[in-house]
Amino acid sequence: MTGNSRFLLPLSLLAFALACNDAPEGGMDSGAAATADAPKPVELSDSQSGAMVLAPTQLAARLEEGTAPVLLDVRSAEEFAAGHIPGAINVPYDEVPARLAEIVEHRDAELVVYCRTGRRAKIAEAALREAGFRQVADLDGHMTEWTAAGYPVTDPQPCC
């Protein structure tokens, strides 16, 4: 291996290990808020991430208008079955690279990714961008803020 390439695999493994940690998610979320009246995702203040964000108020309004983006829930199948944003597609974050064929039709669409608090979504977003998805955004506050605000969630369903 040459130069910095010898660090890429260990860093990838570290990112995966951190995402798999059973400890509560948290520290890696942006916490940046988008304005409620902006019609499209707005950039996060963290310019290093290059991420876009959609506020829950914006998403709720767009769901009601019938103009919602494609929603990708990257939580586990069990979490998804316990309740998710109506219309969301479930592909757990650690399965995104292997299951791209299931979502490739949305490559050019606006795609909003969410998990419980944001850590798993960031990992999934990186895989999506690497696969050529260009309009990838984060749901600000993820399911934690969505449910706290009382926005619609599907009824729990039997799982796995």
Q: What is the pLDDT of residues 42-65, one digit of tens each?
A: 433 333 456 799 999 999 999 999
Q: Which of 37, 43, 41, 99 is nearest to 72 (CA)?
A: 99
Q: Spot the catalytic one: 20, 115, 159, 160.
A: 115
Active site residue 20: no
pLDDT confidence of residue 49? 54
Instruction: Express each pLDDT in 59-101 by its tens digit.
Output: 999 999 999 999 999 999 999 999 999 999 999 999 999 999 9
Please tell me which residue, 105 or 8, carries the higher pLDDT value. Answer: 105
Distance CA 2, CA 93 (A): 30
Beta bridge partners of 138: 53, 113
pTM over 0.75: no
State the average pLDDT over residues 23-48. 38
pLDDT confidence of residue 9? 35
User: Where in the chain are the domains?
Assistant: 5-148
State the average pLDDT over residues 3-11. 39
Distance CA 158, CA 78 (A): 9
Please tell me which residue, 117 or 2, carries the higher pLDDT value. Answer: 117
Architecture of the domain defined by 5-148: 3-Layer(aba) Sandwich (3.40)
CA 28, distance to chain mean position in Å, is 13
Would you place residue 17 in the very low, low, confident or very high pLDDT band (cuts 50, 70, 90)? very low
Instruction: Express each pLDDT in 110-151 by its tens digit.
Output: 999 999 999 999 999 999 999 999 999 999 999 999 999 999
pLDDT confidence of residue 160? 85
Alpha helices by DSSP H, 31-100: 56-65, 77-82
